[in-house]
Structure 1
């Protein structure tokens, strides 16, 4: 009986040792696994950092590239819109000038009227002259006046077979001596265009044939005298009248009717 009890106690102790050992092993293994897992996780994070940075840089570069491409595309679209807008504005201006020429044509008292286009206007001589695409073969002669934008802009100075050079009224060295007349009520005063004042953008008229009064706003048209003999072409409006020191002569300054800055189409007029 005593031997059986001893054996029983031995078995219980053995089983208890096994259970405790198992628990200890399990706890230790779990701790080891946890430590190992933490170590692997740390290594994984360290290894992934360069790849994450590279992916971030790659993504940023991709965004920058797409943004650059979009900006270039937008610039091209804006440029195309500006070009189209400028073309439309040029066509609008040209059409308006053509309408003015047609309206003027019905009012002109001239035996020869020729419509033509401006083909050259150098920036160096922008205020002095321009070139037309019609010449002697189309009937242009050197005694013709030039009209655009509702009024006189100059006179023919040189004629070739297929082109014509126009001397503009804004040429400060203008020496064509075009006759004009100033209408003041029922009075008509004749004079000669003698120059252009670039600073104030006004035409100068002198050699008046009368001492009659002249007021600001009086209309000035071509006189029809001398070599350029087409009359009643609008020239401008009087802005001032000045006297010489001895009061023997007067000079009249005139604001031009025609806009000479933008010229596309003109009419040549003359009586021959």
Structure 2
């Protein structure tokens, strides 16, 4: 029994000695490796490659997923920024347009100092009477009265048809007919002025109808400016109405009618001025208002 124990101990010591010798031998600087070392290295390298390849593939998949998620988040943020920028751009553009319109309206107010201008804003436009009337935010409390002229920075757009304490309804020139007439004139530096009446609106051609009541209208030319004459005693004189586009005689050749394109945009109305004509003497107040009723 002791013999076998001594024999195992001896074998163990021999194995340790051989292992130490092999380790020392492997640590020496040698140009060529043994077949055993090469086999072990190749085996370890092959095993590492087998394990590393799928690990790298799976890791790459998760990395790509993270990149896609980050890209999506970044694109979402960028889209929000772009949308915000566009919104601000549109808002600035609208503010610039509104500012320009208000400046033009203010300039127009200053150019009619002989009258009492009342600044107003369009509150609504009736869908069923889109081309005929709008509602403004000024009424009798602000000095607005029936039949007062209503203009924009470009020119005349209509008159006050009905008023309440805080609001008023404006009848647009596009809704005028023979019962809503305006005394008008074409003022010339050379030659006689041409007088007439705005007596309606032709919806087919989108032009006002200016009936000439004087024979001097034979030489009427395209592009001449039609102004309010102030003859009715309600509308101030000199308010731009439109430009002559075409002149046609009636079927009997007795009168001539000019087709006038309004100078103001009847479909884009935001800020307006209600114009109250100042009465300077008793003769003005006694004039007939039939023409502009």
TM-score by length of structure 1 reads 0.74
Contact 2:185 2:193 in 1 (8 A): no
After superposition, the Cα gap between the structure-2 partners of 1:36 and 1:72, relative to the gap in structure 1 and judged at 3 Å, is same
Contact 2:201 2:209 in 1 (8 A): yes
Q: Which segment drifts farther, 106-115 or 181-190?
A: 106-115
Contact 2:213 2:255 in 1 (8 A): no
Contact 2:116 2:275 in 1 (8 A): yes
Contact 1:179 1:226 in 2 (8 A): yes
Say if 2:228 is the partner of 1:253. Answer: no
* Equivalent residue in structure 2 for 1:145, among 149, 166, 176: 149
Deviations 1:151-192 (A, max 9, x none): 112222232221222222344889633332223542222122
Deviation at 1:31, TM superposition (A): 3.6
Deviation at 1:237, TM superposition (A): 1.4
Contact 1:178 1:228 in 2 (8 A): no
Contact 1:109 1:230 in 2 (8 A): no
SS in 1 for 2:221: coil
Counterpart of 2:117? 113
Q: Aligned equivalents of 1:38 and 1:256: distance in 2? A: 95
Which one has the bigger strand percentage? 1
Deviation at 1:231, TM superposition (A): 2.1
Deviation at 1:141, TM superposition (A): 1.4
Q: Which segment drifts farther, 208-217 or 90-99?
A: 90-99
Deviation at 1:215, TM superposition (A): 0.8
After superposition, the Cα gap between the structure-2 partners of 1:206 and 1:43, relative to the gap in structure 1 and judged at 3 Å, is same
After superposition, the Cα gap between the structure-2 partners of 1:249 and 1:121, relative to the gap in structure 1 and judged at 3 Å, is same
Deviations 1:23-47 (A, max 9, x none): xxx9xx9445544543443333333
Q: Aligned equivalents of 1:124 and 1:36: distance in 2? A: 95
Q: Aligned equivalents of 1:43 and 1:172: distance in 2? A: 96
Counterpart of 1:263? 269
Counterpart of 1:168? 172
After superposition, the Cα gap between the structure-2 partners of 1:178 and 1:78, relative to the gap in structure 1 and judged at 3 Å, is farther
Contact 1:113 1:269 in 2 (8 A): yes
Q: Aligned equivalents of 1:219 and 1:197: distance in 2? A: 20
Q: Aligned equivalents of 1:74 and 1:173: distance in 2? A: 56
Alignment of 1:29-178 (within 5 A): 30-108=34-112, 111-121=115-125, 127-171=131-175, 176-178=180-182
RMSD after superposition: 3.2
Contact 2:115 2:236 in 1 (8 A): no
After superposition, the Cα gap between the structure-2 partners of 1:73 and 1:157, relative to the gap in structure 1 and judged at 3 Å, is farther
How many residue pairs get matched?
244
Say if 2:209 is the partner of 1:205. Answer: yes
TM-score by length of structure 2 reads 0.69
